[in-house]
Amino acid sequence: METVVNVGDLRKLAKKRLPKVCYDFIEGGTDDEVGLITNEQAFRQARIVPRYLVDVSVRDQSTTLFGRGYSSPIGIAPTGLGDLFRRGADLMLAEAACQANVPFIMSGHSSSLIEDLGRLAPNHGWYQIYTAVDPSISEDMIKRVREAGLKTLVLTVDVPETSNRERSIRNGWGPSRKLTWNTKLEAMRHPAWMLEWLQHGTPYFGNWTRYVSENAPPKAVADFVSSQSRAPMTWKNVERYRELWKGNFVLKGIMDPDDAVRAQSLGVDGIIVSNHGGRQLDNAPSPLEVLPAICRAVGDTMTVMLDGGIRRGLHALIAICAGAKFVFQGRPTLYGVTAGGVTGAAKVLEIFRREIDISMAQIGAAKIADLGPQFLMWRDEGNLHPKRR
């Protein structure tokens, strides 16, 4: 990892290791993939104004979230199917998060088990849940999260329907899951990945196997997960899960101030402003664009976080200046774990930490609490204007 300078370098290494069908799954969005571009452009269009003549000789990027201290304000978002890119990826990401003292959200579509996360990272692991058609499954998963000793449950609310991910469809990874011959032949050009596949076979949705049948093959489990993913998701689910879950309860995918206020009224502890990495609704605004309005709507009584488009440590600072308490990123650490396992994921977090530290010095902020809208200017119809307190 000595030659790796930034997240883009790890992205290239991940692309080299993976067959196109896998890499496209990580990179792809929905429809025309406008959302992917919008998420990253929002950070490019924001301007951060430095304040000099400030003593920044000692800098501290530690922060507190739900009463727990973390070493940096950037964690690992849930990314499903990790074992497709490197076997054991979910727990590798959890281990890297522990080493860096930041939170890791295990995907509801992970291969590793809730119970394993509880054993490895009880103080850093969060769990993401999707509503299942059979409510007893969701309720049992909540019970398992509690018994595993995890403190934070994340309900993802922005997947009412499977989106139109055309990259995957062109590769043959559509509803039929019948890969094209070209896709299969191209995969053979990636020997390290292919050897792993031959050794371990098709990955499972680990947390769902117990709800299917004993010794069910991976495809049967995947089909079952798909059949359970068409559950109507409403505010009644939020109320029910809040009743069942006594720990920190977070909604991921909130993009509207009124929805944030309603979540707050139902006792939700925090929200992650997110458009699912541009993978669900194309032409939706970026999370950064809607963040200030959401923060104004809920004030200081709810923890507001963000994910989507974070590729640099400076991006994390921009989001915090715009009102976020904390940020998450998904693709960068997925590149890292794909390229180099725990070492690769840890390298990404190290890069973010270094970039945050340098950027804090550059703008004149000695600690995270110093950040605020006084540092920001935004592009608005071609003109820059200040966003003051």
Assess whether pLDDT exceeds 80 at residue 112: yes
- Dig out the tokens for 4 from the structure: 């790796």
Q: What is the pTM of this model?
A: 0.94
Domains and CATH numbers, the chain: 7-381 (3.20.20.70)
Question: In the prediction, which pLDDT does 3 show?
Answer: 85
Average pLDDT, rounded, for the chain:
92
Q: Residues 124, 276, 315, 385: which is the catalytic one? A: 276
Residue 284 has which token pair? 């939706």
Quick check: 201 pLDDT over 80? yes
The confidence score (pLDDT) of residue 272 equals: 98
Distances (CA, A) of 303 to 39, 242, 251, 263: 21, 16, 11, 11
Cα(268)–Cα(253) distance, rounded to whole angstroms? 13
155-178 mean pLDDT: 78
Residue 1: pLDDT over 50 = yes
Summarised one tens digit per residue, pLDDT across range 236-278 is 999 999 999 999 999 999 999 999 999 999 999 999 999 999 8
Which residue in 74, 141, 47 sits closest to 332, CA to CA?
Answer: 74
Q: Which residue has the tokens 């200017």?
A: 377
109 catalytic, yes or no? no
Range with the poorest average pLDDT among 41-45, 159-163, 255-259: 159-163
Question: How many C-beta neighbours within 10 Å does residue 213 have?
Answer: 11
pLDDT band at 4; cut points 50, 70, 90: very high
Residues with Cβ within 8 Å of 312's Cβ and at least 6 positions away in sequence, in order, are 6, 7, 43, 352, 355
Please check the confidence at residue 126 and state whether its pLDDT lies above 60: yes
